[in-house]
Chains A and B, each alone.
Chain A
Amino acid sequence: MRTRNMRGLGPVAAIALFALGVGNLWAQTSTTSTSTMPPAVIDENSLFGGPNDIVTVIDENTASAGTVQLVKDTKTYPVFLISGTAGAGLYGNYTPVGATFSSGQELYGAVNLSGLEFDYLPTKNLHFSVSSDLLAVPNDILAASVTAYADLRQSDLVRLYAAGSFNYDPSSYLSTKAYDSGTFSLDELFVDTQINEKVFFRLGKQRISWGVGYWYKPSDVLSLSAIDPDDPTAAREGPFAFKIDMPMKLNHLMVYMVPPVSGLADSSSMAAKYDLVVNGWELSFAGYGRADLEARPRAIFTFTGAIGAFDVYGENVLLYGSDRTYVRESSTTPGTYETYSVEDAPFFQSTLGLKYSVSKSSGFSFSAHLQGYYNGTGYADATILQIPDARTAVKNSTTNTAKQTNDLTQTGQWYLAGSTSVSGRFGEGRNLTQVTGSVYALANFSDGSMRFNPQFEVAIGDQGGRATLTLSDLTAIGAENSEYAPKGNKTTPALTLGMLNDAFALQVSAPILLDTDFSVKKVQTAFSVFWNAIQFD
């Protein structure tokens, strides 16, 4: 358990807990107007039998001249709000099989903050927010995540926005990504402005999410980080760019100019996209180019719409040359690896997705989602990247860490991903029970790796408010250093139980490392049990 380098954050945790205590005193309590609350008991004679008519006539000229207030509901500033949960309990881990000297065999008292958010609005147009997740034991912080933003508006369309984050999560307790050491990042810093409400500008570092795919988005050329396969919708880092947007009703023309990233003028790039909405379909035509051709020029076409009961989407990218640095075994010195690039051949990337869902008034629901991806810039046989020396050769080919990551991500040519979910509802009242079975799976056919996560959930009470039991088993199958099983064969059965609106939360997981013949190599267990005594709504 690598937590030693986080001891310096102990005071931060103490301050956070102090702020929590003080914030509890300051927090604005909910002031929902009684006239907007649903009645405690439905009495039709009371609802429709009052002395006043249920219809209020408003003069047309009055309504068209401005806003007519129907219920007194005026917000007063400053506003200070807290939401999220805080709890305390036990956290521990144990390695019954394959333990080494460094394996943890521990039991701690622990504090857990989950989605704890502080919002401060001194005026209507100024908003400061800090949210945090934290898992701390007496002498260490096991995982911490803090995000903060400031939204400073002059008007709806003109503002300064800044957002940053800190993440530390070496064993992925709080996220699906591992942050081995504390990492600060400036997520966004931009200015929004406009001309005559016709042309809109966003200038600065910003997240840009191109593409309509879910697990694979080859057209998302401006994002700087890869899609997390276990959390495909998570926010991704974007570039410093100038965006010009010209909406034409539902159609849009967007132009992005990315200023030089290396201090050299020819490292600048430009991208443009036109969204066309026609007959229930959204079609996007885009192009991208970078002056120094470090990233290859490409033409993009994406579409999304429906065919019958199916939602359909697709992305198609045509590149001239590949961005990727490839590796192969040296023909002159066998056992060593050399890198090369391909700059004078066309490449094609294409993905197609289908979604279907049905929901019945009986409570039965079913959904399915399938996405296939052909990645022309990938290796037909990506197993070469499972050789450590080959990976090292790729990493040593550049000092650009983002490029290193991209060269070792989505390395295959053929991918398939999908998910499905079936849910049923039983009983009523306090015993209302929702049972859901679901699974998602991803496969890289070019390196023979895959991962899947079946999940079974029983939720009792309204939205599982009384109790929710979830069983899951995230499993990765493939050779070490493969895309979807980077640590080799591994399966992680897990159980979570939340009771009384998650006031009581139990988590148990047992990551099992398997050998290539699927015999058990190492078994770890981790568990936590928390009483989330503080819940801010």
Chain B
Amino acid sequence: MADIRNVKARFLNARLTSKLSIVLFGLVLVFSAKAQGGPPPGGDHGGGGGPMGGIGLPLGFLQQDKDYKFPDDITKYTANDFLMLVRRTDIRSSFYNSDMSATISMVSVSPDRGTFANKEQIFRRDKDDAFLMLMVEPESRKGQGMLRVDNNMWRYDPTSRKFTHTTLKDTYENSTVTNNDFRRWQRSIDYSVEKLSTGTLGNYKVIIGELKANNDEVPFPYLKMYIEADRKIVLKVEEYSLSMKLLRTAYYTQYVQIGDSFVPTVQIFQDGLIPEKRSQVTYTDISTKPLPDYYFTKEYLERVSQ
């Protein structure tokens, strides 16, 4: 009898604990809903259906940029002009009227680790803020990938067949490149202008803006951007720590222009701490052919993996 009583007491205990767990779980959900609640994405009509609906840019972002009149003389740029120039480069790196796909080669050279080469395919649908990356080489990692739509981001491990969430701040492949480098740039939102000057980079006259982050979500608190004013493309970016230590320099040495969009197809990253360490990202092919909807699903990521 004593055993039966013990068993019953155990079940009663389990039931009470179950109810307590349900209450706790409900509280978590309520807090979750509150934490994530907020106004709908921006847009003239209050909804999120516009071309930029997916990434929650400030109201009138596109319209303000489209009508903005830049000074003819690069020495007359103000801080606000430069911020609008950065916005223009952000927008022009995107494809809002078509999908985009490309194959990307990345080669990293390290004095201690030697030379590593990766190759990936990327698929973008910027109007939905959707991005899919699939590892193609090395063969041992083929099929690993990442899917991001809005703020939902998954990584897939084909060995365990498991999807996991990750963040855009992660360093990409233990290199000086971060996942954020593959996202549409939003530096015009994340940084404010501290100082402006002009100069030249090779054959090109550039405006040099020194920027300071206005939030701590970005990987680098300070940036120094070199932008060619004529075509409004970024040629060089220096990235600094809070103590103004140069951590990385990015060079955008080749672009392709498709319609109004500019894609930096050769990007060279020089490590600031290890002078002999650098990497190069090269687009080996590119297309704006429409992509099937199922490309931007977890199922596709799982299917094309090993």
Contacts and interface: CB of A to CB of B under 8 A. Distances in A.
A515 B24 CA distance: 40
B117 interface: yes
Interface residues of A, number: 113
B160 A249 contact: no
B25 A32 contact: no
Contacts, number: 303
Interface string A126-158: 010101000000000000000001010000110
A279 B149 CA distance: 11
A233 B162 contact: yes
Given A429-B273, A462-B110, A67 B256 contact: no
A249 B285 contact: no
A33 B288 CA distance: 25
A119 B136 CA distance: 14
B202 A45 contact: yes
A366 B142 CA distance: 30
Interface stretch (B64-72, B76-84, B235-243): B235-243
Contacts of A461: 111-112
A395 interface: no
B212 to A, nearest CB: 13
Interface residues of B, number: 114
Given A48-B253, A68-B287, A430 B111 contact: yes
A434 to B, nearest CB: 11
B194 interface: no
A209 to B, nearest CB: 4
A328 B152 contact: no
B278 A42 contact: yes
A58 B273 contact: no
A55 B255 contact: yes
B277 A39 contact: no
Interface string A57-69: 1101001111111
B151 interface: yes
A245 B303 CA distance: 11
B18 interface: yes
A461 B150 CA distance: 37
A305 B13 CA distance: 30
A235 B139 contact: no
Nearest to A159: B303
Interface in B50-65: none
A348 B280 contact: no
A157 B108 CA distance: 32
Contacts of A348: 14, 17-18, 21-22
Given A68-B285, A430-B111, A56 B254 contact: yes
Interface in A212-257: 233-236, 238, 245, 247, 249-250, 252
Contacts of B195: none
A26 interface: no
Given A83-B138, A233-B162, A362 B297 contact: no
A465 B109 CA distance: 12
Interface in A261-315: 275, 277, 279-282, 303-308, 311-312, 314
B253 A47 contact: yes
A48 B289 contact: no
Contacts of B161: 206-209, 235, 238
Contacts of A68: 256, 285-287
A517 interface: no
B287 A63 contact: yes
Given A36-B105, A209-B162, A501-B112, A129 B139 contact: yes
Contacts of A306: 35-36
A37 B294 CA distance: 34
Interface of A: 30, 32-33, 35-39, 42, 44-50, 54-58, 60, 63-71, 73, 79, 81, 83, 117, 119, 121, 127, 129, 131, 149, 151, 156-157, 161, 192, 197-198, 200, 206-209, 233-236, 238, 245, 247, 249-250, 252, 275, 277, 279-282, 303-308, 311-312, 314, 316, 328-329, 331, 342, 345-348, 350, 352, 357, 359-362, 374, 376, 379-380, 413, 425, 428-430, 432, 461-466, 501, 537
